[in-house]
Amino acid sequence: MSAEQVIVNKGLEGIYFDNTSICHIDGQRGILLYRGYNIHDLASNATYEEVCYLLLYDRLPTKDELDQFDAALKENRNLPSAVMDVIYAFKDGHPTDVLRTAVSALGTIDPDVKDMSLEANLRKGIRLIAQFPTIVAAHERIRKGLDFTPPREDLSHAANFLWMLKGEEPDPDAVRAMDLDFILHAEHSSNASTFTARVAASTLADLHSSVVAAISALKGPLHGGAAEAVMEMVEAIGEPERAEGWVQEQLAAKKRIMGFGHRVYKTEDPRARHLRELSKILGEKYGEPKTFQILQNIEKAMEPMRAKGIYVNVDFYAGSIYHYLGIPADLYIPIFAIGRIVGWVAHILEQYSDNRLIRPLLHYVGPMERQWVFIEQRS
Ligand code: ACO
C-alpha cells in the first residue's frame, strides 16, 4: 500500500480487533450487556459475586455454584507475608502504584505461576479478585499507621472490603453502594485497560503480567483517574450556584469537564443512572447534599454539549459515592480496579482461548534513508 493510501485510525477508533462473548455496548442507544444480561437487571438484582461468576463462566450460577465460588473467594482473601512486606516497603506510594506492585509481586509467588492451563488461570484469576480488596485496604491502613484489619469470612466481598478499610462494622447502605459500584465497574469491553491486558495476553504473557499492564493503563485521568478529577472539580466549584459559570469558563478555555464524554457512548452511559441515584441517596443520608447539588448543576450546565454526543459517564457520580463513604480520593482508581479485575481476567482468558498476537501498524511519517554521520563530525 502506498503512503497516500494509508488510513490512520487514530486511537484505533471504530476498529474491531476480535470477537467477544463477554460484553456488548450499544453506544448510540446506551445499552450495556454482560454476557447478554442487561446492566440494569444486574444492577437491580445481582451481587458482585454473581456477576463475577457470570463473567468468568458465561452463565448465572446455581445456588450451590455461587456458594462454592463465594467460598473460593473468601479462602483467598489473605495475602502472602512477602506481599505484605512489599506493601509496607512502598507504603508512601500512590495506592494505584502499590496495587500494581503488589500484583507484580503476587505473580512471582503464585502457586500456579508456571501453569497456563484454563483451570490454573481461573484459579489465579479468582485469587486476584479476592486479593485486590485486601491489598488496597491493607495499604490504606498501613500508610495511616493503623493495624491491618484481617479479612472476615462472614462478610460479602463488598462488606469485607469496607470492614478491612475502616476496621468497623460496615453500614448496610454503604455495603450495597460498594457492591453496586463493583458491579457497574466489573466489565466494559475493549476499554483502554482491558485492551492493554489483551495485548499483553496475546504475547502469551502470564495472567499476573497482563493484569499489571491493565492497572498501568487504568491509571491515567482519561480512564480510571476521572472520578478523582471530578471530585477535585466539585471542590474547586465549592457552591452549587457557581457550577454553571465554572463550566462555561472551562469550556471557553477549551478545557475538558471530567466525567463527561466517552469513546463509545454518544448518549448517557447506562451505568451513570444507578450512580446518580446512589449519590443522591447517600448525600442525603450522610447529611451532605451539597456535593450532589453541585454535580447536578454541572450536568445541567453541560446539557448543550449533548448535541456533540457528550453526556455524563460512569466516573461522574462514582467519586461522590466514595467521598460519602469517607474514602480518600487517591483510592478511587484502585477501587475501580477492584471492580474491574474480573473483566480483565475474563478477557485475558478469552484472548488465550483463541489467540492471535495483537500487533497493529504505525504509519511512519519521519524522514527516509538519512545519511549516517560519525560522532566526531556531528555538530
Ligand atoms: N469535556 C469537554 N469537551 C469534551 C469532553 C469533555 N469531557 N470530552 C470530549 N470533548 C470534546 C473534545 O474537546 C472534542 O471536541 P472538538 O471536536 O471540538 O475538538 C470532541 O469532544 C471529541 O473528543 P475526543 O477526545 O476526540 O473524543 P474521544 O472519544 O477520544 O474521548 C474521552 C473520549 C477521552 C473519554 C473524552 O471524552 C474525555 O477526555 N473525557 C473526560 C475524561 C473522562 O471522563 N474519562 C473517563 C471516561 S469513562 C472511563 O474510562 C471509565
**Nearest CA among 175, 58, 69 for reference residue 164:** 175
Supply the residue whose CA is at minimum distance from atom 26 of ligand 1: 263
Q: Looking at residues 115-143, what average pLDDT do you find?
A: 98
Which grid coordinates belong to 230? 471530578
Q: Are 159 and 271 in contact (CB under 8 A)?
A: no
Q: What is the pLDDT of residues 164-216, one digit of tens each?
A: 999 999 999 999 999 999 999 999 999 999 999 999 999 999 999 999 999 99
Supply the residue whose CA is at minimum distance from atom 45 of ligand 1: 222
- Which CATH homologous superfamily contains domain 226-324? Cytochrome P450-Terp, domain 2 (1.10.230.10)
- In Å, how far are 15, 214, 271 from 199, measured between CA atoms? 15, 10, 26
Q: What was the pLDDT predicted at 4?
A: 67
Supply the residue whose CA is at minimum distance from atom 50 of ligand 1: 223
Q: Are 93 and 101 in contact (CB under 8 A)?
A: yes
Catalytic residue among 185, 208, 262, 323: 262
pLDDT surpasses 70 at 2:
no
Q: Give the distance (Å) from ligand 1 centre to CA of residue 30.
A: 17
CA end-to-end span of the chain:
37
Residues above pLDDT 90, as percent of the chain = 95
pLDDT surpasses 90 at 1:
no
Q: Which residues line ligand 1 (CB under 6 A)?
A: 11, 191, 222-223, 226, 256-263, 308, 310, 313-315
Q: What was the pLDDT predicted at 225?
A: 87
Q: List the 23-26 sheet strands across, edge first.
A: 23-26, 31-34, 37-38
Ligand 1 atom with minimal separation from the 185 CA: 51
Q: Looking at residues 209-228, what average pLDDT do you find?
A: 93
- Residue 288: pLDDT band by 50, 70, 90 thresholds? confident
pLDDT surpasses 60 at 374:
yes
Supply the residue whose CA is at minimum distance from atom 38 of ligand 1: 261
**Nearest CA among 267, 264, 174, 284 for reference residue 223:** 264
Q: Work out the number of other CB atoms within 10 angstroms of the CB of residue 215.
A: 28
Domain ranges of the chain: 19-221+329-353, 226-324
Q: Determine the residue of 32, 234, 248, 256 to mutate for testing ligand 1's pocket, defined as the one with the most ligand atoms within 8 A of the Cβ atom.
A: 256
Q: What was the pLDDT predicted at 281?
A: 93
Look up 315 and say whether it is catalytic: yes
Q: Looking at residues 359-376, what average pLDDT do you find?
A: 96
**Nearest CA among 184, 153, 161 for reference residue 48:** 184
Ligand 1 atom with minimal separation from the 223 CA: 50
Separation between Cα atoms, residue 328 and residue 201, nearest integer Å: 32
Q: Give the distance (Å) from ligand 1 centre to CA of residue 336.
A: 19
Separation between Cα atoms, residue 83 and residue 75, nearest integer Å: 17
Architecture of domain 19-221+329-353: Orthogonal Bundle (1.10)
Please, which residues bridge with residue 32 across strands?
A: 25
Residues 6+ apart with CB under 8 A from 350: 20, 21, 22
Residues 295, 95, 179, 68, Cα dihedral to 10°: 170
Ligand 1 atom with minimal separation from the 250 CA: 2
Q: What was the pLDDT predicted at 39?
A: 98
Q: Could you tell me how many helices (H) and strands (E) the chain has, helices first? A: 16, 3
Q: Determine the residue of 181, 185, 222 to mutate for testing ligand 1's pocket, defined as the one with the most ligand atoms within 8 A of the Cβ atom.
A: 222
pTM of the model: 0.94
Report the half-sphere exposure of 129 (CA within 13 A, side-chain side): 34
Lowest average pLDDT, out of 21-30, 205-214, 280-289, goes to: 280-289
**Nearest CA among 19, 32, 41 for reference residue 262:** 32
Q: What was the pLDDT predicted at 3?
A: 52
Grid cell 472551562 in the structure block, residue: 250
**Nearest CA among 21, 4, 32 for reference residue 264:** 32
Supply the residue whose CA is at minimum distance from atom 28 of ligand 1: 263
Separation between Cα atoms, residue 122 and residue 136, nearest integer Å: 22
Which grid coordinates belong to 6? 494509508
Look up 274 and say whether it is catalytic: no
